[in-house]
Amino acid sequence: MLNVKCKKLIIANWKMNPLTVKEVVSLAKKIDDKDLVICPPLPFLSIVKNEIEKSELGAQNIFWENKGAYTGEVSARMIKEFGVKYVIIGHSERRKYLGETDEMIAKKIRAAIENKLIPILCVGETIEQRKGGGAEKVIKSQLQRDLSLVIGHRSLVKQFIVAYEPIWAIGTGISCEPKEAARIHRLIRGIISNFVRQLADRISNLRIIYGGSVDSKNIGNYLKYNEIEGALVGGASLRADEIKKIVKISKSHSVSSNLTR
């Protein structure tokens, strides 16, 4: 058994921002870094691709079919044309505002994997669920349903990211206690290892990252936990200085693993 170290992963989720091409160009140029994945809005994918030399590109959503009569949707196959490597799936804002269900998310996860995109599956509980003591139950149920179509396809699952994003911490400035986030991360790895043993056993194949009001002041408190293997950053990723600081801090941490590779 080897002790292997790998980098923490920082993912910028720009959501539906910024507004103009000028702002997109300026921000992308400033924050370009080999340890950063940038997920811009879909219409700006090719613009960001042209501006970056080091960062990797991610999308914020895909549809589950590759092509056809699905007005307004964009497929995994299409975004691959832009050199996209990652895709966020099941973000709580999509679950809430677009009515995305776990069944839809499961199909999107399958589409991503079949198209060799690395899914960033977002899971997390509401404040009511947490207060009622049901955070673990909610997360388990989300993972079970969202992964239901890939569980039998072990060979398909080469790389997978789960973002633990407690809904009450997203965009609120109220971040989850790092120790508590680390506990939930352990729980998530345990749950997934029951579903897809080979995936969860390899830390390079499954990464669990934290999201929810991450900024340059608190990122170090999260990344010092080995279980927290990176961060999904929303609001702070739109401020060049902030995200650059976050990436810089992330470089001084690593994930060490005694697991088999």
Catalytic: 185?
Answer: no
- Minimum CB separation of residue 197 from ligand PGA in Å reads 28
41: CB partners within 8 A, 6+ apart: 14, 15, 16, 17, 60
Site stretch for ligand PGA (CB under 6 A), options 18-26, 94-102, 151-159, 233-241:
233-241
Give the residue carrying structure tokens 């398909």.
156
Report how far apart, in Å, the C-alpha atoms of 125 and of each of 48, 153, 206, 213 are.
32, 27, 21, 15
Catalytic residue among 93, 100, 125, 165: 165
Listed residue (80, 79, 77, 84) closest to 37, CA to CA:
84
**CA 146, 219, 158, 43 torsion-angle sign:** positive
Residue 58's Cβ-count burial label (10 Å; 0-12, 13-18, 19+) is buried
- Sketch the per residue contact string, 208 through 227, with ligand PGA: x for CB under 6 A, - otherwise: ---xxxx-------------
Chain positions 129 to 168 lying near ligand PGA, rule: CB under 6 A, are: 165
Classify residue 167 by its DSSP letter.
G
Residue among 88 and 149 whose Cβ is closer to ligand PGA: 88
Listed residue (143, 117, 130) closest to 212, CA to CA:
130
18: CB partners within 8 A, 6+ apart: 24, 27, 238
Residue among 40 and 234 whose Cβ is closer to ligand PGA: 234
Among 83, 132, 171, 190, indicate the residue that binds ligand PGA (CB under 6 A). 171
Report how far apart, in Å, the C-alpha atoms of 6 and of each of 44, 80, 115, 150 are.
30, 26, 25, 25
Catalytic: 91?
Answer: yes
84: CB partners within 8 A, 6+ apart: 45, 57, 58, 59, 117
Applying CB under 6 A, what is the total number of residues that bind ligand PGA? 13
- Minimum CB separation of residue 52 from ligand PGA in Å reads 20
Classify residue 133 by its DSSP letter.
T
- Minimum CB separation of residue 76 from ligand PGA in Å reads 20
Chain positions 29 to 88 lying near ligand PGA, rule: CB under 6 A, are: none
Residue among 170 and 184 whose Cβ is closer to ligand PGA: 170
Residue among 129 and 213 whose Cβ is closer to ligand PGA: 213
- Minimum CB separation of residue 13 from ligand PGA in Å reads 4
- The gap between the terminal CA atoms of the chain, to the nearest Å, is 8
Residue among 212 and 253 whose Cβ is closer to ligand PGA: 212
Residue among 51 and 242 whose Cβ is closer to ligand PGA: 242
- Minimum CB separation of residue 213 from ligand PGA in Å reads 4
Give the residue carrying structure tokens 């941490």.
253
Residue 257 binds to ligand PGA (criterion: CB under 6 A): no
Q: Which residues make up the interface to ligand PGA (CB under 6 A)?
A: 13, 165, 170-171, 211-214, 232-236
**Residues noted as catalytic:** 91, 165
